[in-house]
Amino acid sequence: MRLTDALSADRIVLDLQAQTKDEAIAELIHIAATGGDVDETPAQLQKLVLEREALTSTAVDKGVAIPHARSGRIKGIVVSLGIHRQGLDFGSPDGDPVHLVFLVLSADTTTPAYLSILGRTARIFRRPQMLQSVLDATGVDAILQSIAAHEPV
């Protein structure tokens, strides 16, 4: 499954208001939970994501974090993207602030697609120019086009 298949324009936040990692996750959960694919309360989703985050940070190098969780009350895979211009402390291995937060929520039964989305996202944004491309984008359509242009088929 491609990242661009799971990420829609209505689940992209161009200017996250969060000041902390937990607030960023909560903001993205609110967006993810509005489409009808999630039959879980935001509080329960937050608990699931933060439990996973407590195991080890989901921040990857180059200013990107991919917090994620699975639940039997999610249909398929739901991805939300939040952009934080100033950057947030996510406990990144490189010590850099995180500017892009991809929240990935998945049904318990979608393991191959779930792992594919996590891996693809990390690979796409391993390139430093991708972070800058998204930060420079003027809107959600430009962000989706940039990701699609760099995502392998």
- Give residue 35's pLDDT: 75
Number of domains in the chain: 1
Each residue of 21-32: pLDDT tens digit? 999 999 999 999
CA neighbours closer than 13 Å in the CB half-sphere of residue 136:
8
- Cα dihedral angle (53, 152, 106, 80), rounded to 10 degrees? 70
Report d(CA 70, CA 118) in Å as an integer: 12
The model's pLDDT over 79-117, given as tens digits with 9 standing for 90+, comes to 999 999 999 999 998 899 999 999 999 998 888 999 999
Q: Judge if pTM exceeds 0.85.
A: yes
CATH number of the domain enclosing 96: 3.40.930.10
Q: What is the pLDDT of residue 46?
A: 95
Q: What is the domain range of residue 47?
A: 3-150
pLDDT at 115: 92
Secondary structure of 45-96 as H, E, C letters: HHHHHHHHHHHCCCEECCCEECCEEEECCECCEEEEEEEEEEEECCCCCCCC
| Percentage of the chain lying above the pLDDT 90 cut | 73
* Residues facing residue 71 across a β-bridge: 107
